Amino acid sequence: MAFDPSIHAVRRQRFLEHLGEAAAVIPAAPLATHHADCEWPFRQDSDFFYLTGFDEPDAVALLLPHRPEGERFVLFVQPKDPAAEVWTGFRWGTEGAVERYGADMAYPLDQLPARLPEFLAGAEAIAFRVGRHPAVEPLVLSTWGRQLDSYSRSGEAAMGLVAPTPILHRLRLRKEPHELERMRQACGISAEAHELARQMTRPGMNEAEVQAAIEAHFRARGARGPAYGSIVAGGDNACVLHYTANTAPLQDGDLLLIDAGCSLEDYYNGDITRTFPVNGCFSGEQRELYALVLEAQEAAVETVQPQGTAEAVHATALRVLVEGLVELGLLAGDPDGIIERGDYRHLYMHRTGHWLGLDVHDVGAYRLGEQPATLEPGMVLTVEPGLYVSDRLAVPEGQPAIEARWKGIGIRIEDDVAVTDEGHEVLTAAALKSVAAMERQAT
Ligand code: GLY
Ligand code: MN
Ligand code: MN
């Protein structure tokens, strides 16, 4: 994928327009330690990446609306250093920061303490997200503190710290057309991996083998790898929502729940869950519950449309699930009352979806005070209802005990859905989900 600096320049411009006269300090992510002196593969901070496209650790972007044209985008980066690059690889350095990434000025990161006071001087406020960037925060605070110390002499100091994230996250919530295209690609590769996983699965295999095939496919198709810890959960393991051990043998007669998606080079992600029988054939109980989750999921996807809400998506899925569970005898009573009291939560204990973008659980408000946020074209959310039948949670008073034949069934069906002008687009449609598609002829 060719790097297009204009994408980030337009975003910076839009961000600056909303910032007013506040000067923004946006740090990159540092490398994270795995153990001892071994590090995880680098993962850029999504806000920093959104604004700069710069994909190296230990950098800081300054956006300075109070400065003259040609001094408004400053990058502090790791400088070129052949000796260091022998160990850790190529760096763009200050020259690359200007030439490739469009910085007006660029400096080695170790000059940030000396230069920050000069760049922040004259800004009405400082836009910095406190609590998230421990290496940079003391510097921002001490720079501001010194401005206040000398206010009686200079008459100049930022009047406050403001949060850049509400503005930035409002921008990130609505995806641009090229972002949707990248998300289609991430979802397409993720869907291929799910198809492949279902076709290869046989009783006696280990969850780990299926995980390996999925993640091998991500890498082979050019993705960075999994967007989050892949969940490959046979039988009752599927009732543990964040099961990522993926070490158990797959049993004949069990279902296999797979929640996996890839992350592309520019961090756009897929997030798909599919559930199917390990031996290719649903039992009666598995089929009943699968058909119910599918009905809930499809009904919820239909509610994704402009002027809708994520709240309505959840409410739709929940109503279908609860009514179906009452019919099956897994819940008892009036669906309205069950929903109001939360008497379904031992079977369905999570929400039906989340925003998706550069972060898998992407940024953006779900509510604006009392009002649920309205869906607009360009927003992308997951729709992922499920049912998890196990003994882990107590059955609420007044609800029926669960018969053994239902236990150990965990099902989730998750698609990634973009809001469009006309309604919605299921970005993950290439991953099949009908009852028939989940079954396999005997081989
Ligand atoms: N895979 C994380 C989620 O579905 O939210
Ligand atoms: Mn999800
Ligand atoms: Mn998921």
Cα separation, 27 vs 46, in Å, equals 10
Strands 409-412 and 255-260 come out as unpaired
Residue 443 predicted with pLDDT over 60: no
The predicted pLDDT at position 58 comes to 97
Query: What mean pLDDT is predicted for residues 26-30?
Result: 98
Q: Which band of pLDDT confidence, cut at 50, 70 and 90, is reported for residue 2?
A: confident
Ligand 1 near 362 CB (within 6 A): no
**What count of Cα atoms within 13 Å lies in the side-chain half-sphere of residue 296?**
31
Q: Give residue 411 CA to ligand 2 midpoint distance, Å.
A: 14
- pLDDT per residue as tens digits for the range 233-245: 999 999 999 999 9
- DSSP label at 333? S
- pLDDT per residue as tens digits for the range 343-375: 999 999 999 999 999 999 999 999 989 999 999
Closest C-alpha residue for ligand 1 atom 3: 271
Q: What tokens were used for 143?
A: 């720079």
| Prediction pTM value | 0.97
Buried b (16+ CB within 10 A) or exposed e, 173-212: bebeeebbebbbbbbbbbbbbbeebbeebeeebebebbbe
Cα separation, 128 vs 120, in Å, equals 12
Whether residue 259 lies in the annotated active site = yes
- pLDDT per residue as tens digits for the range 99-110: 999 999 999 999
Contact 325, 285 (CB under 8 A): no
The predicted pLDDT at position 216 comes to 99
Helix (H) or strand (E) holding 144: helix 137-149
List where CATH 3.40.350.10 sits in the chain: 5-170
Strands 105-108 and 231-234 come out as unpaired
Angle between helices 5-19 and 165-173 (to 10 degrees): 130
Tell me the ligand closest to 273's alpha carbon.
3
Catalytic site residue from 11, 290, 388, 415: 388
- DSSP label at 122? T
Q: Taking phi first (over 0 means left), then psi (-120 to 50 degrees means alpha), and beta for anything else, what does residue 398 get?
A: left
**What count of Cα atoms within 13 Å lies in the side-chain half-sphere of residue 431?**
33
Strands 22-27 and 125-127 come out as parallel
Query: What mean pLDDT is predicted for residues 138-153?
Result: 97
Catalytic site residue from 259, 298, 359, 362: 259
Contact 376, 306 (CB under 8 A): yes
| Rg, the chain, Cα only | 25
Cα separation, 170 vs 321, in Å, equals 32
Q: Give residue 271 CA to ligand 1 midpoint distance, Å.
A: 6
Residue with structure tokens 């053994």? 404
- pLDDT per residue as tens digits for the range 259-292: 999 999 999 999 999 999 999 999 999 999 999 9
Q: Which band of pLDDT confidence, cut at 50, 70 and 90, is reported for residue 1?
A: confident
Cα separation, 8 vs 101, in Å, equals 9
Which residues sit opposite 249 in a β-bridge? Answer: 206
Q: Give residue 431 CA to ligand 2 midpoint distance, Å.
A: 15
- DSSP label at 45? -
List where CATH 3.90.230.10 sits in the chain: 174-438
In the CATH hierarchy, which fold is given to the domain comprising 5-170? Answer: Creatine Amidinohydrolase; Chain A, domain 1 (3.40.350)
The predicted pLDDT at position 360 comes to 98
Cα separation, 218 vs 141, in Å, equals 42
Residue with structure tokens 């009514």? 323
Pick the CATH number of 174-438 from 3.50.50.60, 3.90.230.10, 2.60.120.10, 3.10.180.10: 3.90.230.10
Residue 338 predicted with pLDDT over 70: yes
Ligand 1 near 271 CB (within 6 A): yes
Q: Which band of pLDDT confidence, cut at 50, 70 and 90, is reported for residue 441?
A: low
Whether residue 384 lies in the annotated active site = yes
The predicted pLDDT at position 440 comes to 84
Residue with structure tokens 């006696």? 204
Cα separation, 183 vs 261, in Å, equals 11
Cα separation, 392 vs 375, in Å, equals 35
Cα separation, 62 vs 435, in Å, equals 52
The predicted pLDDT at position 382 comes to 98
- Mutation test of ligand 1: which of 349, 354, 355 has the most ligand atoms closer than 8 Å to its C-beta? 354
Query: What mean pLDDT is predicted for residues 174-186?
Result: 98
Catalytic site residue from 350, 351, 366, 440: 350
Closest C-alpha residue for ligand 1 atom 5: 361
Q: Give residue 119 CA to ligand 2 midpoint distance, Å.
A: 41
Averaged pLDDT score across all residues of the chain? 97
The predicted pLDDT at position 267 comes to 98
Closest C-alpha residue for ligand 1 atom 4: 271
- pLDDT per residue as tens digits for the range 68-84: 999 999 999 999 999 99
